[in-house]
């Protein structure tokens, strides 16, 4: 953080000091490099530099550094850590500035190849009536809500225009398997085009598994297709959350997972959890269910404030503090299980930990800056409309088309991906430039989400003091640092998660 710390002699302004203030004041003194800091608790401060390296120090250390009261001889170990960690430098231009630049480029290398994830909303039809559903689903007999083949063709054409040589084609719904013939057509078309354009395409079907047949499984095996499904925990939670006529959603999901593993392989099917109001009371039981079903990880996530999910407040609306309490209890359970010699990972923590403990970027769009919208993900809706993110599509179901980029019938690749709308979003998609984020110690580990900010606060920039995206991420990041500081065994567990 670059603001000068006020002392009785300097407490005249909160503005930035002149450049000379930050220069070394005497021979043997040091120069300040960019870093941010936060008081984690009564015992520790956290310093984070521009490339995400961190240092845990005693309270008051940040002020001592900024006011140049760190002595090279008296504070020999701390001084060495600050030099090695690129928090201070003995020269105006650090000798290893090229190393800093390379590491910064590495952190942002997810931008190198542009859009990778291309979501095809193949149908809005669904046989479930989940109370937290975020899209305007329709009954399974309404074929007019399937994606037309002309739109499939144009979406594939757009995907092949991506500079990225490795792209993902993800089929969503509704329930994607209700339009299985369209999936068969799309995969065949994409494979044909991939040969021409030299692309490697990863295929994913998002499904509740209820309509799954042996024919579908054999097709997925033949074309190496991944399956993503939903499991909300024990039977009584899953069936309450994911309502289906016959009340057998849980049974079908568990049976479908087993069949997918038998035919496709154990690691070819993954599952997502959505935390409803009911779920909040059962963190340990939900973790136990995932372990019992043979998964090696769980993604603990709150309900997103989009679509149908916001219409049933009794079942879906809760304060973020309640989710954070749920999250910490579940994480405690998971860590204890690992300390007993087992492997089981919490995925959201793993994403953050990769940003904290490694120099590498992450592919999770919600924790990227610049944001993943367009840069990493694009959505082709069943009706040919193109959205900046999946959440943007859900927002449109609420009659808000702020993030509608255009449509496959009328717009070119350049208009959709580089048009005026995208240029407008770019003003808000980097947390380095957002008020409240630019000086935050956790900036390197977090992301920017203009769609979420717009949906919850009516402003793409958002207002940090009341922003639940900020509240969630700040507390989870803080919690991870605190528990790592308390127990070295947990650091080993976390390092195992991100290998």
- Determine the Cα–Cα distance for residues 108 and 138; give it in Å rounded to an integer: 40
Where residue 3 falls among pLDDT bands split at 50, 70, 90?
very low
- Using the predicted structure, report yes or no on whether residue 185 has a pLDDT greater than 60: yes
- State residue 15's pLDDT score: 66
Q: What is the mean pLDDT of residues 321-335?
A: 97
pLDDT at residue 194 in the model? 98
Tokens of 199: 């692309």
Mean pLDDT of 272-280: 93
The answer to which of 86-90, 142-146, 308-312 has the lowest mean pLDDT is 308-312
Please report the pLDDT score of residue 1 as a whole number: 41
- Work out the average pLDDT over 184-208: 97
Tokens 């500035």, located at residue:
97
With bands split at pLDDT 50, 70 and 90, how would you rate the model's confidence at 160?
A: very high
Residue 212: pLDDT over 60: yes
Q: Which of 95, 83, 101 is nearest to 30 (CA)?
A: 83
User: Region 31-48: what's the mean pLDDT?
Assistant: 95
Query: Is the link from the previous residue into 370 a cis peptide, with omega within 30 of 0?
Result: yes
- Give the 3-state DSSP-derived string for the chain, with helices as H, strands as E and coil as C: CCCCCCCCCCCCCCCCCCHHHHCCCCCCCCEECCEEEEECCCCCEEEEECCCCEEEECCCHHHHHHCCCCCCCCCHHHHHHHHHCCCEECCCCCCCHHHHHHHHHHHCHHHCCCCCEEEEECECECCECCCCCCCCCECCCCHHHECCHHHHHHHHHHHHHCCCCEEEEEEECCCHHHHHHHHHHHHHHHHHHHHHHCCEEEEEEECCCCCCCHHHHHHHHHCCCEEEEECCCCHHHHHHHCCECCCCHHHHHHHHHHHHHHHHCHHHEEEECCECCCHHHCHHHHHHHHHHCCCCEECCCECCCCHHHHCCHHHHCCCHHHHHHHHHHHHHHHHHHHHCCCCCEEHHHHHHHHHHHCCCCCCCHHHCCCCCECCCEEEECCCCEEECCHHHHHHHCCCCCCCEEEECCCCCHHHHHHCHHHHHHCCCCCHHHCCCCCCCCCHHHCCCCHHHHHHHHCCCCCCHHHCHHHHHHHHHHHHHHHHHHHCHHHHHHHHHHCC
Distance CA 135, CA 390 (A): 10
- Could you give the percent of the chain with pLDDT greater than 70? 89
Please give the pLDDT value at position 244. 74
Per-residue confidence (pLDDT) for residue 199, from 0 to 100: 97
d(C-alpha 284, C-alpha 492), whole Å:
22
pLDDT tier at 394 (50, 70, 90 boundaries)? confident
pTM of the model: 0.91
- Is the confidence at residue 183, as pLDDT, over 90? yes
Each residue's pLDDT tens digit, 374-383? 999 999 999 9
Boundaries of every domain in the chain: 19-107, 114-358+376-419
Six token digits for residue 251: 């049974």
**Mean pLDDT computed over 292-310:** 83
Torsion of CA 443, 444, 450, 455, to 10 degrees: -60
Local confidence band at 13 (pLDDT 50, 70, 90 cut-offs) = low
What is the predicted pLDDT for the residue at 2?
Answer: 41
pLDDT at 4 over 50: no
pLDDT tens across 429-444, in order? 999 999 999 999 999 9
Cα-based distances in Å from 266 to 96, 203, 261: 45, 17, 4
Amino acid 16: pLDDT: 65
Give the domain 114-358+376-419 fold: TIM Barrel (3.20.20)
Beta strands at 45-49 and 35-39: parallel, antiparallel or unpaired: antiparallel
Per residue in 20-36, pLDDT (tens digit) is 666 655 545 899 999 99
Angle between helices 468-486 and 320-339 (to 10 degrees): 30
Q: State residue 248's pLDDT score.
A: 86
Q: What is the arithmetic mean of pLDDT over 259-277?
A: 95
- Mean pLDDT of the residues in the chain: 91
């Amino acid at each position: 953080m670059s603001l000068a710390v006020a002392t009785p002699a300097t407490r005249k302004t909160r503005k930035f000091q002149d450049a000379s203030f930050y220069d070394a004041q005497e021979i043997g003194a040091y120069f300040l490099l960019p870093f941010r800091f936060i008081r984690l608790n009564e015992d520790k401060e956290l310093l984070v530099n521009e490339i995400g390296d961190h240092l845990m120090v005693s309270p008051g250390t940040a002020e001592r550094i900024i006011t140049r009261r760190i002595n090279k001889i008296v504070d020999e170990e701390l001084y060495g850590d600050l030099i090695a960690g690129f928090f201070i430098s003995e020269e105006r231009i650090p000798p290893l500035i090229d190393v800093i630049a390379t590491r910064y480029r590495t952190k942002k290398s997810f931008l190198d190849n542009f859009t990778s994830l291309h979501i095809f909303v193949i149908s809005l039809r669904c046989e479930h009536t989940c109370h937290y559903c975020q899209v305007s689903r329709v009954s399974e007999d309404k074929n007019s809500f399937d994606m037309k083949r002309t739109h499939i063709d144009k979406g594939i054409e757009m995907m092949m225009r991506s500079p990225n040589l490795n792209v993902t084609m993800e089929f969503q719904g509704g329930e994607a398997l209700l339009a299985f013939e369209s999936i068969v057509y799309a995969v065949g078309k994409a494979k044909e085009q991939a040969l021409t354009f030299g692309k490697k395409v990863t295929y994913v079907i998002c499904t509740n598994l209820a309509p799954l047949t042996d024919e579908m499984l054999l097709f997925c095996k033949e074309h190496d297709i991944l399956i993503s499904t939903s499991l909300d925990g024990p039977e009584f939670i899953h069936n309450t959350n994911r309502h289906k006529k016959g009340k057998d959603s849980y049974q079908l999901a568990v049976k479908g997972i087993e069949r997918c593993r038998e035919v496709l392989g154990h690691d070819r099917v993954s599952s997502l959890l959505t935390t409803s109001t009911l779920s909040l009371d059962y963190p340990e039981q939900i973790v136990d269910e995932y372990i019992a079903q043979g998964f090696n990880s769980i993604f603990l996530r709150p309900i997103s404030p989009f679509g149908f999910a916001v219409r049933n407040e009794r079942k879906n609306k809760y304060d973020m503090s309640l989710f954070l309490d749920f999250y910490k209890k579940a994480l405690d359970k998971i860590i204890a299980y690992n300390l007993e010699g087992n492997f089981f990972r919490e995925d959201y923590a793993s994403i953050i930990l990769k940003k904290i403990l490694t120099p590498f970027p992450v592919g999770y769009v919600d924790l990227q800056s610049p944001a993943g919208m367009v840069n990493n993900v694009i959505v082709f809706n069943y009706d040919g409309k193109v959205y900046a993110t999946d959440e943007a599509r859900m927002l449109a179901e609420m009659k808000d088309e702020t993030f509608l980029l255009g449509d496959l019938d009328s717009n070119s690749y350049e208009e959709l991906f580089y048009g005026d709308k995208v240029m407008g979003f770019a003003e808000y998609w980097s947390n380095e430039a957002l008020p409240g984020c630019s000086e935050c110690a956790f900036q390197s580990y977090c992301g920017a989400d203009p769609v979420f900010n717009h949906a919850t606060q009516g402003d793409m920039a958002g207002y940090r003091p009341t922003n639940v995206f900020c509240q969630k991420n700040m507390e989870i990041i803080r919690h991870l640092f605190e528990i790592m500081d308390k127990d070295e065994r947990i650091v080993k567990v976390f390092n195992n998660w991100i290998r």
